[in-house]
Structure formats: structure tokens, C-alpha cells
Structure 1
Amino acid sequence: MSISELQAFISRYKIELEKRLPPFLESLNCPFSLKEAILYSINAGGKRVRPLLMLAAIQSYRSIKESDYKVACAVEMVHTYSLIHDDLPSMDDDDYRRGKPTNHKVFGEAFAVLAGDALLTKAFEVISSINELDANIKIALIRELAKAAGAEGMVGGQAADLDGEGKDLSIEELEYIHRHKTGDLLSFSIVAGGILGEAPNADMECIRAFSRELGLVFQIKDDILDIEGDSEEMGKAAGSDEGRGKSTYPRLLTLGGAKEKLFLHADNAKEYLRSLSGNPLLLENFVHYITERSK
């Protein structure tokens, strides 16, 4: 599969996701002001990398079903919740996200918190309500997502990130932050694809290892883009991590060292794919896509 075929996959399935995601939230029976804040961030766009990776992992084993989109939409709800909360003044205090004012800048901090809370809880409702899925698969997905999003995953990574501001972290401490704050939800997306695709147990171990490596690739690339990226293209201010005194791979290893680390983890990720019994060419091309992205 070529990169052009990957782009065709992204274009096709991103359209399918964009059609299905807002209706889950437009039908909420809740105060209009809350629904408005929720839909503002959901409809702000974005690459939808996590749900697309989930669908790519499924397609390594079988064709995509309608029920798969529901899990993919749940993943994007959790991701969007994390961005809303990450941008808060008490967290990273960002003014722009995806080229638009952040949620709290438009709706205030209280409604931004509530919008994030609503998205997180709705995601679990969506997965638990998929009638087409076997109960054991739903339980497995919910367990994996709760761990990836919770204190041992994304929330713990954010806490470590806050603790590390203004400190000189070691590479091991920085890798802990990256693995959990960014990597765990991305990893869940790929693992969920393996679960839904009913990948063999031996494959699941390689899928987990691949997903962890790809999570680091994604965040190291973010660190590099914070220096080299174009603010307008990324939809947020470049240099924001440096301005907050955060440790990053370029800061600890130099920009050249960070790029070496990026390609090391990308190569590791591709190596794990070689052991899969399915057809992982789409996932392999995602490694290249994430490594070479400009936003």
C-alpha cells in the first residue's frame, strides 16, 4: 500500500467519522449552553488520528462494520475531552486549539470543565450501548479505555507533566509523561482495533508493543513541531512548551537527538508489525504519516 492509498483511506473514513460523531451529541437532552460547548470542540475539526488508527487496525484483519464507527467516535470524544481540559488556565493555559479560541475562552472555565466531563462519560455510554457487540468485547473495551484514560494513563501523564514544569527531567521521566499523557489513548485506539478485529492473542502482544512505540513517535514529533512547526498550520502557538519551561526531547537531547529518537521508535514500531498475521501495511504507512506530519 502506498502513501497515496493511505491518504485515500484517511479521506474516506474521516468523512464517515464526521458524519457519525456529532449526532451522538446533538441528541443530548441537556442545557443548551452545555451542548453548545460540547459541540464547539467536537466540530472544531482535527486530524481524527486516533479513530482512524483504530479503523486501520481493524482493517488489518477484516472489513469495517457500522458498529466499529461507534467505538471510533467514543475514542474521539475522550480525546476531545482531554484537549478541552488540557487547555484550561489551571493546566496548559492555551488560547487556541485547531485554529480557534479554546473552549474556555468562548464558554468560560466552568462550562469547559463540564463539556469535557460530558464527553468522557458519553464515550462509555456509547460503547456500552452497542448492541451488535458481544458483552465480553464491550467489557474488554471499557476496561482498556478506563485504564488508558485514568490515573494510570492519560490523567496520570498530565499530572506528571504539571509536576515537571520548571524542572530538569530525565529522559526516563519525560518518557513516562509522553507514554501516558499522549501515548496511552493512542495505544488504546490501536489495541481496540485488534480486539474488534479479533486478532489472535500472539498478534495482540505485538499490537500493544507497536502502539506504545507509535505513541512515543507521535509525542516526540509534537515536541519537534513545537520548535519547527508553523503556528498557523498547526492551529496553536509554536514554542508554547518552551515558554512554560517544560522538558521536551529537543531540550534534553538537542533537536538532532530528538529526531534520532523519533526515527528509532518509528523503526521499532515497524519491526513489531512484521510479526502480525494480518495485513498491517495500512498501519505501517501510518507510522510514516505520523513521522512526517507538519501539524
Structure 2
Amino acid sequence: MLSPDAPIGIFDSGVGGLSVLRHIQAQLPHEHLLYFADSSFAPYGDKPEDVVVARVLSIADYLATHGVKALVVACNTATVAAVRELRERYPAMPIVGVEPGLKPGAASTRNGKVGVLATERTLLGSKFLALRDQIHEATGADFLLQPCVGLADQIEFKELDSGETAAMLERYIHPLLDQGADTLVLGCTHYPLVRASIERVLARAGRADVVLIDTGDAVARQLARLLEAEHLLRPAGEQPASLTAFTSASSAALTVAFTSLLGIDPPVHEVEIAVPVVSQ
């Protein structure tokens, strides 16, 4: 039976999920949190879907051994590939996925042209494409899809302000602006971590009016709704909330990410998750 005092599990292919974690901490400050960064297996976006599914299930199983009461898939690629399988495996557990913010993008656009920055795997996913078509039919918004090959890797390497990252952003954003996009969806949880760099690209292009959509806040609100509906919110006034992190790569690297990106220093543990074997 799930307990209100149990932790919430949050996982991503790397540090991108920290952009979601900060929203969850802000909205649910009394909750215990476990964060898993699967950096040794990153990026997910260039791997076959069945391999991503197997990996995601392995990580969820690991977090389940720590007694989590809810799971947040803080990775767009993993959500597109595996959230259905996760819900089938853990039907009694609240599970929140991260999807590119197509709905808020359609609501925000003034001219009906919405650029979507995401990994190639996300943009090729059947679930994503079905959602795009559904929202286009309902709203008339046109979604301009831009795969951002290598950008998540740059962010994993903490290259937030490097010349190479800036050049990538120029290369990926300008074609969307040239097509008239007045709204950009940050369709990977890594991308809000370079929001300042994106805003500089827009300012140099004379397009500071472009709206940026980050879905981390919506994920935290949905998580809060599900926990409340299941009577799983941890009461205020209990012992202080804790945050513990795990990584399949270097604990030192994840510690640096927490410090540099969020200004906090939680305990970080290195763990080994077996590479999934996918039957052919």
C-alpha cells in the first residue's frame, strides 16, 4: 500500500530532469524526493525505442525497491517511448510523464506557428505525432518540428554558455524563426537549462517577443493533483523533506550539476543498472 510519507521518484537520461525537479520542489516542498540520472546510458534520443523502454522499466523497478509512491518520467523521449508500459507495470501508482508542450504552445501562439525543439526520437514517436495531429485539428496551429541533435549532450557536459552550444542554438532556432514561429516549445527537459542562451539568440534576431514554453510547471501541478486525489500528499509539519540522488555514471559529475544548476548539494550515490537485453 502506498504511503503519504514515501518518496517520489523522478528520473531522466541525465541532468535535464533537474529542470522538472526544481518545479516539483517549489510546488511540493514537503515531499521526499529521489532523483535518478541515467547519464551512463544517455542520450536516449538516439537509441531504438524498445531499448529505451527496457531501460526505463529497469530504472522504475530500481526506484520501486526504494518504496516510491509516485513516478515522474522527467524525460520527453522516455515518456513518448515507455509511459504506457510503466502504467501497465505499476497500475496503482501515480505516474506523470513529460510531453512537449504542444497544447500550451497552441494556446500561446498569435499567428498559429509553433516551433518545437526536441530530440529526434521524440519527434519521430507515434504518440507525439498523434498528439500533434490532434491539436492541429482542434486549434489550427501549425507545428514546425526541429530535431536538436547533440544539444542534450552539450547540456550534460555542462556546456551551457559555450560557443559550440550557442552555434547549435543558432542553427536550430533560426529556421523556425524564418518560417514565422512566434512560440517555441522546449520539448526536452534539458532545454530549459539553456533558456538564457536561447533568449540571447532570440534577442540577437530581434525576436525577443517569441514565447518559450517550459512544461516543468505543468508536470508539477499534475503530480500534485494526482497525489491529492489518491490522498498521498505528505502533510506539512512532518520531518523536513529529503532529496537523495542516484546516477548510473559519476556521482561527482551529478553533484556538480546540482550545485551549478540548482544551487543545492544533496547526497548522490552511484548505482549500476544492467544494460537491457532486448529480444529480437
TM-score (norm 2): 0.29
Looking at secondary structure, tell me which structure has more helix per residue: 1
